[in-house]
């Protein structure tokens, strides 16, 4: 089996993937808490135990990371606890995606992994929405070329800004109220946060389709809070929570084949 690790700004997510690409289970821990390699190693062991998997079941490891400062401790945990040298998504690795932005080196590993997953699973001419710490909108064409990107504050960042900057507004759960016609502060905030974010998402999708003249563009969403928005709009075609793991499996297979 393949252990895939997605290190994002908010969470680190482990995914255990079978040889045929089935995601057998996932496990999430926070990124922002400082940890030693042993602490990372123990979280890995807890994940494997929860799936009744053994260390010897893990044949290889691939990591996608946008947080360089924890990579030393994390990669050491893989070496110490799994006795494996992990594959890192980065420069020189084969992805099947051609990048034609102005500054390809600025592109995060998470974007490349998502693009590889979408192109291999759903095909090109696709807009990829990743609802993470930031919400990213990335376009790949029919040939698997990464061309354009748009980045906005994530829904949690937007919500945190609202109650942290307004002294009398409380922290609320991010959920869609039954109606936008709210009569209390909590529902008013929830309505503004969620309905407002739906409006942003729909407008950005429309603008991509308009400026590219691609009305038939596929729209694929992923990321934790994506499921909230996906249920409330007809403009997202697919919500795929395992997109990052599918992308890492694609990239892993391309590089193992070409060793």
Does residue 256 sit in helix, strand or coil?
helix
CA 198-208-141 angle, to 5 degrees, is 125
**Residue 79 · residue 38 · CB < 8 Å:** no
Quote the CA–CA distance of 223 and 129 in Å, as a whole number: 8
Kindly give the pairing relationship between strand 60-65 and strand 2-7: parallel
Q: Which residues contact 182 (CB under 8 A, 6 or more apart)?
A: 188, 190, 191
Looking at 83-126, list the stretches that DSSP marks H as alpha helix, in order from N- to C-terminal side.
109-121
Q: How far is CA 254 from CA 39, 87, 184, 243, 259, in A?
A: 31, 12, 54, 17, 9
Q: Rounded to whole angstroms, how far apart are CA atoms 93 and 102?
A: 20
Helices marked H in the chain = 37-50, 71-82, 109-121, 155-165, 185-212, 226-230, 243-257
**Strand bridging mode 126-131 / 98-99:** unpaired
Active site residues: 110
């Amino acid at each position: 089996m393949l252990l895939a690790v997605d290190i994002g700004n908010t969470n680190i997510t482990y995914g255990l993937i079978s040889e045929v690409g089935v995601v057998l289970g996932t496990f999430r821990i926070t990124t922002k808490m400082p940890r030693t390699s042993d602490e990372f190693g123990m979280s890995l062991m807890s994940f494997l135990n929860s799936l009744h998997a053994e260390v010897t079941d893990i044949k290889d490891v691939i990591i996608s990371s946008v947080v360089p400062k924890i990579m030393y401790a994390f990669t050491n945990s893989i070496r110490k606890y799994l006795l494996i040298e992990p594959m890192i998504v980065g420069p020189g690795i084969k992805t099947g995606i051609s990048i034609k932005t102005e500054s390809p080196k600025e592109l995060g590993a998470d974007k490349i992994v998502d693009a590889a997953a979408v192109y291999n699973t759903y095909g090109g001419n696709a807009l990829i929405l990743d609802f993470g710490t930031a919400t990213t909108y990335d376009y790949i064409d029919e040939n698997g070329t990464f061309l354009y990107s748009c980045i906005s504050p994530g829904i949690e960042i937007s919500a945190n800004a609202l109650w942290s900057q307004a002294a009398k507004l409380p922290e609320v759960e991010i959920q869609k109220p039954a109606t936008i016609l709210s009569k209390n502060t909590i529902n008013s905030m929830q309505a503004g946060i969620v309905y407002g974010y739906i409006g942003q998402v729909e407008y950005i999708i429309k603008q991509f389709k308009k400026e590219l003249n691609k009305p038939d563009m596929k729209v694929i969403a992923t990321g934790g809070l994506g499921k909230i928005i996906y249920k409330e709009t007809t403009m997202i075609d697919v919500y795929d929570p395992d997109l990052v793991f599918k992308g890492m499996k694609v990239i892993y297979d391309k590089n193992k084949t070409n060793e």
